[in-house]
Amino acid sequence: MHLVTGGAGFIGSHLVDRLVSKGEKVRVIDNLSSGRIDFIEGHIGDSVEIVIADLLDIDRLSDAMEGVTTVHHLAANPDIRLGTKVTDTDLKQGTIATYNVLESMRKNGVRRISFSSSSAVYGEVEAMPTPESYGPTLPISLYGASKLASESLISAWAGTFGATAWIHRFANIVGPRGTHGVIYDFIHKLRSDRGVLEVLGNGLQEKSYMDVEDTVNGMLHIIDSSDEGVALYNLGTDETVSVSRIAEIVVEASGLEDVDIRYTGGDRGWPGDVPRTWLDVGRLDSLGFEAKRTSEEAVRRCAESLIDEIGL
Ligand code: NAD
């Protein structure tokens, strides 16, 4: 039995799809704060059960560990920007939630954890593309700090209590059912004003984007390929896309004409935003994994599918 925390969320629901297609039994635990039950509704029954609970409720979480062999820990606050206004969300939903997951695992004899971390742990770095060995890791967002703290807790639990862990440092993940992020924001802006698209920053921010199907396939590939105590992998693509190019792709996908793309200026979208991220995915490549879509293809597929889902 697999336990997917945050399994009703964007990436979590795609992971559930993939596990089900492999014939696995899945339990989802999710408080539905940003997840949606309809993302996994079709599976609930034979192969998927859902526990609607908060990871901060350690008793409910502990009960959900019964019969579990592998925990895929994805639940977290997805909104990096929130940390500029509310300073304890990432601490609670990230760091403390991860402690609760690890402690419930220990008490229930569950020994395998796969964790969704982020490129945000690297902070603002010179080395591009950034390898897993880069350090010191000095995040500049509260979200990044909670991811790094969670990685440390996982490594400590593995070292002290003998768990096996896979830590996935994601680039920006995009695709159908996305509920946040730059493409989602642009579509919502176009919905409220079909003539103007406001872009935060100068548009030169440049990041790599990975399609969500490639992401969950990559995560499972890593788990199947390595069994080394704590395995640490970047997940992303070999190239980047600028925010101004994303704005153009979203406008193209919308079919709207004469949209005025306006930039608020400055080198980043908000304080704590890392303007340039590009992960070195050589370690993942060396496991024989190849993403099917480039960053630009992933962005385009996401824009088209979200416009279908949300409507303009
Ligand atoms: P998401 O918001 O769609 O998924 C998070 C899920 O966790 C949601 O279903 C939410 O309801 C649930 N959740 C949040 N707090 C919870 C709590 N305390 N108890 C129970 N459930 C809770 O976001 P996502 O994009 O699918 O992200 C999944 C994971 O991947 C997160 O850990 C995120 O930090 C990480 N990640 C995502 C990206 C990206 O680009 N989407 C990049 C790097 C890392």
**Domain boundaries, position 180:** 175-207+239-275+292-310
CA of 71 to the centre of ligand 1 (A): 14
Q: Check whether residue 118 and residue 247 sit in a common domain.
A: no
- Angle at alpha carbon of residue 17, lines to 283 and 306, rounded to 5°: 90
CATH code of the domain containing 252 = 3.90.25.10
Q: Check whether residue 132 and residue 148 sit in a common domain.
A: yes
Minimal-distance CA residue to ligand 1 atom 35: 116
Q: How far apart are CA 24 and CA 68, in angstroms?
A: 12
Length of the chain: 312
User: What is the bridge-based pairing of β-strands 241-242 and 206-207?
Assistant: antiparallel
- The DSSP code for 46 is T
Q: Check whether residue 116 and residue 129 sit in a common domain.
A: yes
Distance of CA 209 to the CA centre of its chain: 11
| The pLDDT value given to residue 76 | 98
CATH code of the domain containing 47 = 3.40.50.720
CA of 195 to the centre of ligand 1 (A): 32
Residue 217 lies in a domain: yes
Q: Which residues contact 202 (CB under 8 A, 6 or more apart)?
A: 263, 265, 266, 267
Task: Give the number of domains in the chain.
Answer: 2
Residue 127: CB within 6 Å of ligand 1? no
Q: Check whether residue 200 and residue 109 sit in a common domain.
A: no
Residue 282 lies in a domain: no
Residue 286 lies in a domain: no
What is the number of other CB atoms lying within 10 angstroms of the CB of residue 264?
A: 12
What is the greatest pairwise CA distance in the chain? 60
Residue 28: CB within 6 Å of ligand 1? no
Q: Check whether residue 31 and residue 123 sit in a common domain.
A: yes
| The pLDDT value given to residue 269 | 85
Q: How far apart are CA 134 and CA 16, in angstroms?
A: 31
Mutation test residue for ligand 1: of 13, 31, 56, 212, the one with most atoms within 8 Å of CB: 31
For residue 73, the ligand 1 atom closest to its alpha carbon is 32
Minimal-distance CA residue to ligand 1 atom 39: 173
Tens of each residue's pLDDT in the chain, 312 residues = 999 999 999 999 999 999 999 999 999 999 999 999 999 999 999 899 999 999 999 999 999 999 999 999 999 999 999 999 999 999 999 999 999 999 999 999 999 999 999 999 999 998 999 999 999 999 999 999 999 999 999 999 999 999 999 999 999 999 999 999 999 999 999 999 999 999 999 999 999 999 999 999 999 999 999 887 999 999 999 999 999 999 999 999 999 999 999 999 999 888 888 899 999 999 999 999 999 999 999 999 999 999 999 998
For residue 55, the ligand 1 atom closest to its alpha carbon is 19
pTM of the model: 0.97
Strands of the sheet with 241-242, listed across from one edge: 241-242, 206-207, 276-277
CA of 239 to the centre of ligand 1 (A): 24
**What b/e sequence results for 266-280 when a residue is b if at least 16 CB atoms lie within 10 Å of its CB, and e otherwise?**
eebbeebbbbbbbbb
Residue 43 lies in a domain: yes
CA of 39 to the centre of ligand 1 (A): 13
CA of 260 to the centre of ligand 1 (A): 32
Q: How far apart are CA 174 and CA 181, in angstroms?
A: 8
Q: How far apart are CA 16 and CA 32, in angstroms?
A: 15
For residue 173, the ligand 1 atom closest to its alpha carbon is 40
Residue 285 lies in a domain: no
DSSP string, 70-99: EEEE--S---GGGGGT-SSHHIIIIIIHHH
Q: Check whether residue 231 and residue 306 sit in a common domain.
A: no
- Angle at alpha carbon of residue 165, lines to 122 and 273, rounded to 5°: 20
Q: How far apart are CA 101 and CA 117, in angstroms?
A: 15
